[in-house]
């Protein structure tokens, strides 16, 4: 493997992780501005952004507050 191949694999991996983060965010109960801010966060922090978006689970705390039946 040469350097160009590794860079191409890294770029493909980062794009795939960003797409997965956006698909995850699409299913969360977020406003458009929250969705946009989390999406920008995932885009601007290239390697860790998508992982952090999925790990931090945005929208889950709002769901707990609005749904009184939800128990942890």
Q: In this predicted model, which residue has the larger pLDDT, 51 or 6?
A: 6
Close Cβ partners of 57 (under 8 Å, ≥ 6 residues apart): 28
Whether the per-residue pLDDT at 21 is higher than 80: the answer is yes
Mean pLDDT, the chain, whole residue set: 80
Smallest CA-to-CA distance from 31 within 65, 62, 6 is with 62
In a domain, 26, yes or no: yes
Q: What total of structural domains would you count in the chain?
A: 1
In a domain, 50, yes or no: yes
pLDDT digits (tens, 9 = 90+) for 40-69: 888 887 777 777 777 888 877 655 556 556
In a domain, 28, yes or no: yes
Q: What's the pLDDT band for 33 if we cut at 50, 70, 90?
A: very high
Q: Are 29 and 60 in contact (CB under 8 A)?
A: no
Enclosing domain of residue 17:
3-66
């Amino acid at each position: 493997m040469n350097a160009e191949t590794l860079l191409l694999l890294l770029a493909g991996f980062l794009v795939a992780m960003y797409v997965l983060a956006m698909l995850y965010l699409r299913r969360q109960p977020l406003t458009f501005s929250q969705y946009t801010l989390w999406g920008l966060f995932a885009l601007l922090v290239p390697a860790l952004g998508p992982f952090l978006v999925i790990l931090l689970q945005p929208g889950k705390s709002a769901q707990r507050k609005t749904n009184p039946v939800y128990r942890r």
